[in-house]
Structure 1
């Protein structure tokens, strides 16, 4: 059930960001530690918010899929969704439905859940070693990718794959453009392909090829190692890409030029997340101890949230300044609405 609305703060300027957040404490969301310490928790691998920021889902390395109420941190107010028999790679809420969650496991099973009833309402099998998942913006279909470069178009209402496509190179976590007509696909070769949807054909071409007979497909090139993830800003102005080279690249979506690179990460960039207004971006990785918040327009570091360990999973809420992240296996949330608006 949706929570009652409460006052939200507006956009926080770059110079006010760190002073505003420096005294806000993170809240832990986990089981009681009376019987075991937080060190016994499994690694938190992925985080997903629903479109209204009223639910946040988490996946841990022991295959636990749990949906939390951000207003109530006690585990008794959360919901565990059971059914996957192998490691869960990605989760994502339907962008137009508050309570429909999709999860993909590396045994090739995709499950659709109604988080209000805990019911698995649909299941699709036989997708290989699946590890990437993205909803089309209108919520009518999903795109699932596996480690062999196969892509599958899925309808949440059908128990069979709509269509499949074998791509020539292995791919990682993709993202849609907001019209749903294109999908940005990072590859193990370090480039990002821009493909039409649902055809999955190259959407942009250069007017020349380096050599006769070479492909004229236009790709974004901003990494010296495998590109692991992509994320489009809520405003649609920037596409962020994260690589195994520990670099975040920001491309403008008008001219497709890499405007700036962020090289403060200390390990491969596993996930990316923009704040609801597109002003700030964060990345998650398996190394380091802190979450750096970068101002997208300047590339400046505006604040670092200190953590006890590496944060592989990190996600801004889609409607407000509320940051969820995993630290030593525990979900933590920093909510700007817990403090009065800045002067």
Structure 2
């Protein structure tokens, strides 16, 4: 029988907090990982939902790669995928295949998994100190980046890198536009580059004369410190960027003007996630406690999730108001009950 599909409703900002106040977060704990020293808030480095929101994958500093059933928090209902020999930096499901997972380790290896069989179906090595990963929207290719400023185009079916592109400055976690024709690339200089895909050439240029020694490339500028991450809203209306200056900036994708900034966070903004409707956004930071949810159209703080410690990694579910995040080294999810709205 096909799964029951329920209509998705957008919560008004006046009702957002009252919806979440009575809900408690559910811990998803791997006791064996905790006994190996997984209590540090740095242990969980990446969280990803599959396209239907029926699975959540986590990657950790202790090399643990695990896929959870959100409805069953006990570890015995999860699936551990074994094979990485170094800390896992990023995990990401194929956006068009519910059971294909990609994981990136900082030893320079990318692995592709069929989570139904636990099989590693492809592996690409030689990426150096890799730390960023993004699927193209059609699920046919990926871009991975390392700390040396190299970008690698990867195919989930080929065992070697398709192409390598050296960037002039070190880059961070990138995001695709929904057409798959552009990539938003944060840099250590605090800017965001807009590059064509797969050519990885600048898309926008200044329409006025500049000094011959300067580049004509147009950059998005919203940070006074390195830009760490970028995320495009599901509606494509806003591009959110997070910086080491503790600021999250929201750019209108029509005219590329920074419409508003969120400065209530503490520490570098390491991760950003929008709700499925693009109405709300949250950022994960490596310092402080609590998760502030912001209304994207007004910049208003609508709710704060209380946490025990810093939450570097956050991920809204792709189909409902359900937030997964890291807290003191473990996965927590709030809003699992899909029948509430």
Fold conserved between structures, TM > 0.5:
yes
Root-mean-square deviation (Å): 1.9
Gaps of 5+ in 2: none
Gaps of 5+ in 1: none
Q: TM-score, normalised by structure 2?
A: 0.95
The Cα shift of 1:51 comes to 0.6
Match of 1:203 in 2: 203
Match of 1:337 in 2: 337
Match of 2:227 in 1: 227
Aligned pairs (5 A) from 1:155-170 = 155-170=155-170
Match of 2:264 in 1: 264
Match of 1:130 in 2: 130
The Cα shift of 1:201 comes to 0.4
Match of 2:317 in 1: 317
The Cα shift of 1:36 comes to 6.9
Aligned pairs (5 A) from 1:1-343 = 4-5=3-4, 7=6, 9-31=8-30, 41-42=39-40, 43-335=43-335, 337=337, 340-341=340-341
**Do the aligned partners of 1:7 and 1:337 also contact (CA within 8 Å) in 2?**
no
Q: SS at 2:17's partner residue?
A: helix
Q: Distance in 2 between matches of 1:236 and 1:209?
A: 30
Q: Distance in 2 between matches of 1:9 and 1:181?
A: 28
Stretch deviating more after TM superposition (3-12 or 39-48): 3-12
**Do the aligned partners of 1:245 and 1:268 also contact (CA within 8 Å) in 2?**
yes
Q: Distance in 2 between matches of 1:59 and 1:97?
A: 19
**Do the aligned partners of 1:3 and 1:54 also contact (CA within 8 Å) in 2?**
no
Change (3 A) 1:203 1:109: same
**Do the aligned partners of 2:103 and 2:110 also contact (CA within 8 Å) in 1?**
yes
Q: Distance in 1 between matches of 2:139 and 2:338?
A: 31
Q: Distance in 2 between matches of 1:303 and 1:121?
A: 41
Q: Distance in 2 between matches of 1:6 and 1:23?
A: 25
**Do the aligned partners of 1:321 and 1:337 also contact (CA within 8 Å) in 2?**
no
The Cα shift of 1:45 comes to 1.4
Change (3 A) 1:74 1:5: farther
Q: Distance in 1 between matches of 2:168 and 2:314?
A: 30
Q: TM-score, normalised by structure 1?
A: 0.95
